[in-house]
Amino acid sequence: MQNVDTTKYVIYADITAEGIVERPDVVGAIFGQTEGLLGSDLDLRDLQKTGRLGRIDVQITSSGGKSGGTISIPSSFDKVETAILAAALETIDRVGPCIARIAINRIEDVRASKRKYVIERAKRILVEMFDENILETEEITEEIKQSVRVEEIIHLGKDNLPAGPNVLDSDAILVVEGRADVLNLLKYGIKNAVAVGGTNVPPTIADLCAKKVVTAFTDGDRGGELIVKELLQVADIDYVARAPEGKSVEDMTQKEIVRALRQKIPVEQVLDQYKIKNQPRKRREITTKRKSLIRERPLCVRNATERAEAIAPRRIVPREVVPKVA
């Protein structure tokens, strides 16, 4: 019987016989034809009794009057003695009444197989168990930030649209597709984004767009293009920014977000591009004029005097003309 604690090698051999033979015939031939061949120290019967040699496993089938199969023998000897035993098997030329041939296929190092298993299993344990329970400092920090960002999200209107905390107070807002986009923008400190939640633009978005300078910031796919088209028809947006082709806003890095917003294009260009008839011209002119005042309003006004100076029209003072000296 194979001793799994001491087995070092397993001998694998192929057997062919010119006739029909069965497992007991093969085992008998192995013991009988190697007896006395290698001396008393390497007698297979004695080695199996002492546990130095494992159980001889034979798998054999017969077809068309011939037999063929495999033999495996576990060994706890070192390389040299195991090689001698393997060579002894190839001296067997008969099994029962049939001519037979045994050829060594390979000798497997059980310890190497175990080492390979240990390495692969250790990798899986490291990934599946340690990574789930042990967080690095950066991961702990990111997890806390993520929790804070989720708490910062508010919900607007009867449609309960996910939005950043500064949407209502900001003069300019970003309209994105979903909650994940709002979260990703919050990650980089952009708190004036609101999500439409799908291609069906809700009334809350239309009301917001009428009061603020709006940039539609959508994914770089077909869905993002459809949302832009619907916003152009039902809401008053001012600019359009798109994620890179095939990428979502929720997956963008800070640099990619900044680059995309810098490359936003005015809504007039987008209307021409999609050949969409937006609002009546008169209404559009009124809205554009109102929003232009929002864009031009000073960002930092400390007191009433500065506010008055900021919104007052500038007076043009002619420069004094100094005559040229001939």
With beta carbons less than 8 A apart as the criterion, state whether 115 and 40 touch. Answer: no
pLDDT-derived band at 193 (thresholds 50, 70, 90) equals very high
315 within some domain: no
Question: Residue 1: its pLDDT value, please?
Answer: 42
Neighbours of 184 (CB within 10 A): 22
Same domain assignment for residues 208 and 289:
yes
Q: Which residue has the higher pLDDT, 274 or 184?
A: 184
Same-domain check for residues 91 and 38: yes
Could you read off the pLDDT of 251-292 as tens digits, one per residue? 999 899 999 999 999 988 888 777 666 554 444 554 554 555
Chain-centroid distance of CA 128 in Å reads 15
- pLDDT at res. 276: 64
Do 66 and 185 fall within a single domain? no
Over range 300-312, report the average pLDDT.
40
Residue 97 is part of which domain span?
A: 9-111
Compute the average pLDDT of residues 192-200.
84
For the record, the structure tokens of 245 come out as 């082709």
Using CA of residue 173, residue 174, residue 177, residue 182, what is the dihedral sign? negative
Q: Would you state the structure tokens that stand for residue 40, as one six-digit string? A: 């008393």
Q: How many CB atoms lie within 10 A of CB 241?
A: 20
Residues across the chain: 326
The tokens describing 75, both together, are 């060994």
**Using CA atoms, how far apart are residues 163 and 159, in angstroms rounded to an integer?**
11
How much of the chain exceeds pLDDT 70, in percent?
Answer: 75
Domain count, the chain: 2
What CATH number is given to the structural domain containing 246? 3.40.1360.10
Cα 161 to the chain's mean position, in Å? 28
What average pLDDT does range 220-248 have in this prediction? 88
